[in-house]
């Protein structure tokens, strides 16, 4: 039992160190990328200052509008998803951006209570150890935007032939629109559904107050979003 305890404590300490390290060190790859069977992978890190400010707000508007204020979990969305998923063949998810970072960066794909429990622990650690801006920076850099295409830098080059810094609001909205299923939904050749979803995302961005929504919360409301 003592040996088991020592091993468990050692593993927990290692996890804390690794999560803390990625606050400053940019991930060279992710668990999700390593499990991707695509013949080629496109991935290149882009620093926050070199990412169009339209990208983070589009992602927040599409994926997790409470991101600036929650601490890793959107309990209201989780409750709603549980109620809606009763009897559904395809359950609706309620993962926050932080949960998706934890899953994509560190964990294997699939559904299990063990993986969900580990994901929850990692989510708490990330929220405790990383500023909100860092969580968003990592997310837009490791999210999958197409088959074998990871991160906003690779996606902007592949689909818009421009650097991430030059992405316009519509470009950012299209990238955010394909996040739920980047293999089926195409950013490079958006379907009518993707176009409509992108338009809805742009409207949500407008309702949130535009790109300044995140900047404003970097002040007294949530200083963790400060640059």
* Mean pLDDT of the 54-64 span: 96
Mean pLDDT of 201-227: 70
* pLDDT for residue 168 is more than 80: yes
Q: Which of 111, 124, 136 is nearest to 211 (CA)?
A: 136
Q: Cβ neighbours of residue 166 under 8 Å, at least 6 residues apart?
A: 52, 156
CA dist 38 and 23 (Å) reads 28
Mean pLDDT of the chain: 87
Of residues 157 and 74, which shows the higher confidence score? 157
What does the pLDDT look like over 3-21, one tens digit per residue?
Answer: 877 877 888 888 899 999 9
In this predicted structure, which of 73-82, 111-120, 216-225 has the lowest mean pLDDT? 216-225
Instruction: Tell me the per-residue pLDDT of 107-133, one tens digit each, with 9 for 90 and over.
Output: 977 777 888 899 999 999 999 999 999
CA 91, 97, 103, 104 dihedral sign is positive
Domain map (residue ranges) of the chain: 42-225
Query: Is CATH 1.10.3810.10 the right assignment for the domain spanning 42-225?
Result: yes
Average pLDDT over residues 133-148: 96
**Other Cβ atoms closer than 10 A to 208:** 17
The per-residue pLDDT for range 16-52, each reduced to its tens digit, is 999 999 999 999 999 999 988 877 899 999 999 999 9
């Amino acid at each position: 039992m003592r040996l088991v305890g020592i091993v468990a404590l050692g593993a927990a300490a290692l996890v804390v160190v690794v999560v803390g390290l990625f606050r400053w060190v940019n991930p060279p790859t992710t668990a999700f990328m390593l499990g991707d069977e695509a013949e080629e992978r496109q991935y290149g890190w882009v620093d926050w200052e070199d990412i169009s400010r339209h990208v983070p707000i589009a992602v927040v508007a599409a994926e997790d509008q409470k991101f600036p204020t929650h601490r890793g979990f959107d309990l209201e969305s989780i409750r709603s998803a549980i109620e809606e998923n009763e009897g559904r063949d395809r359950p609706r998810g309620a993962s926050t951006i932080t949960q998706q970072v934890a899953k994509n960066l560190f964990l294997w794909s699939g559904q299990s209570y063990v993986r969900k429990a580990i994901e929850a622990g990692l989510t708490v650690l990330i929220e405790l150890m990383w500023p909100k801006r860092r969580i968003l920076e990592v997310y837009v850099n490791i999210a999958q935007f197409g088959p074998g295409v990871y991160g906003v830098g690779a996606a902007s080059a592949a689909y818009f032939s421009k650097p991430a810094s030059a992405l316009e609001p519509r470009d950012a909205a299209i990238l955010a629109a394909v996040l739920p299923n980047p293999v089926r939904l195409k950013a490079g050749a958006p379907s009518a559904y993707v176009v409509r979803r992108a338009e809805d995302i742009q409207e949500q961005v407008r309702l949130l107050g535009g790109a300044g929504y995140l900047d404003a919360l970097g002040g007294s409301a949530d200083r963790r979003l400060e640059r």
